[in-house]
Amino acid sequence: MRDQLYINGQWVNPDLGGYFETLDPATEEVIQRVPAGSEEDIDHAVRAARRAFDNGWGQSSGAERADWLEALATELEGRQDALALLEVRDNGKPLPEAQWDIGDAIGCFRYYAELARELDQQQNEPLALPDERFRCHIRREPIGVAGQIIPWNYPLLMASWKVAPALAAGATVVLKPSELTPLTALELAAAADTIGLPAGVLNIVTGLGADAGSPLSQHPQVDKLAFTGSVPTGAKIMSAAAADIKNISLELGGKSAFIVFDDADIDAAVEWILFGIFWNQGQVCSATSRLLVQQGIASKLLERLVEAARAITIGSGLEQGVLLGPLVSKGQLEKVLGFVEQATRSGARLLTGGKRPAHLERGYFIEPTIFDEPAENSIIWREEVFGPLLCVKRFNTEEDAIRMANASRFGLAGAVMSADPQRATRVANGLRAGIVWVNCSQPTFNQAPWGGMKQSGIGRELGRWGLDNYLEVKQVTEYIGTEPWGWYLK
């Protein structure tokens, strides 16, 4: 395990000599000490990234960058099992989920290697003009130095979503992982070091948000800020970016609705509902945490749903058969328990869960929790919990379902389940969300855009849209007329 920062292709101690501890959320035991980067370390990293961009990486071909991305993917693949185990210890998620995440991260680097190669073919694209005396072509050039801040719920996967497209575009990176889950980001640095990625192209600085994240968002030599996390922190980053008119992309919170019509298959609906809210302990920005069920199916579906939720195996993510691990930290557990208390006080009916499992005395565990019929203006219905907590309300008509789903300041995702394809299409089109799933919840692909509307963020990640985050578009127009322009000099 690494206990140094990775700056300019070297492992270095934090400038101020500070460290913090990262804990195993299943046991509450210290895993290791981690360097606490400071403003000074961020400055070193940004300046290294600037030199690397100006001195070669920014002028490299897409094919050259693709080779580096492929090499990085191959190196990560060789460490895949160890990375998954480390992710479980640092984050708490069940091992099969971690293995899935690491595989997706590797696939993300390979996908953007493909797009980097295609970028070469798209350069100098001719543009037809109405005046034949001029010729124009379009270039897509890297944005420069990217400052990236990632959350703790998918540590290596969120790093790959940002690092891979940035490097593919020709940008250089300073990455600040969450202080709660920094370990696999440091292993990403180790992989980059092993393959000999040019110094300064990828810099990873661990540390607290105020000490490292804030200086990164305010650094004048950062050209692009990419952040995934909470709305309040996103607002601060947006404000910091405004001072220098920095390019930003923000992937923020969600309170996504899952609409189930009475013609849906109950067993299939229950499976997707469980997946939509209890995967990764509900610590998912797109979690379909508001369930809207049509009256005709509500009683039968809820009976089956509660039974299935109570059967979910809870424990350490390293134990075989566990489907629900601990929350990431004591603070996150206390936050979720606070939502449970508030929901109970406000009159919502607790159907199951809401407390620590009786057989687990240590670790940040909470049972799968379902509340029935909270008020539409209640905190539990309106605000993101980021835990295994589902709220259920009933509806009568299609119009009611769409209205209730859209009555949110968030607009990240949504889902609809119906045996009627036309109705499913109408509802999908009517939802004000950047991601809509039909007859499923949460499938995510590197090729498809990811991002939301309203307070769920700005811009899109993944797919070609993710690459575009790190590219500037330039027009080059040439006068090819045979006569002098002759506007001033006759």
Q: Which among 335, 334, 332 is positioned nearest to 379, based on CA atoms? A: 335
Residue 339: strand, helix, or coil: helix
Question: How many Cα neighbours within 13 Å face the side chain of 439?
Answer: 12
Catalytic pick from 179, 251, 367, 398? Answer: 251
In angstroms, what is the C-alpha Rg of the chain? 24
Can 28 be counted among the known catalytic residues? no
How far apart (Å, rounded) are the C-alpha atoms in residues 488 and 414? 60
Phi then psi for residue 410, to 5 deg, are -95, 160
Residue with tokens 């979503």: 161
Residue 471: strand, helix, or coil: strand
Partners of residue 135 on adjacent β-strands: 478
Question: How many Cα neighbours within 13 Å face the side chain of 348?
Answer: 29
Contacts of 300 (CB under 8 A, 6+ apart): 266
Cα separations (Å) of 104 from 110, 157, 448?
Answer: 10, 7, 13
Of all residues in the chain, what percent are helix, strand and coil, respectively (each to 5)? Answer: 40, 20, 35
Residue 269: strand, helix, or coil: helix
Phi then psi for residue 75, to 5 deg, are -65, -40
- DSSP code, position 399: H
How far apart (Å, rounded) are the C-alpha atoms in residues 367 and 312? 9
Cα 329 to its chain centre, rounded Å, is: 19
- DSSP code, position 59: G
Partners of residue 461 on adjacent β-strands: 450
How far apart (Å, rounded) are the C-alpha atoms in residues 220 and 49? 13
Residues identified as active-site: 251
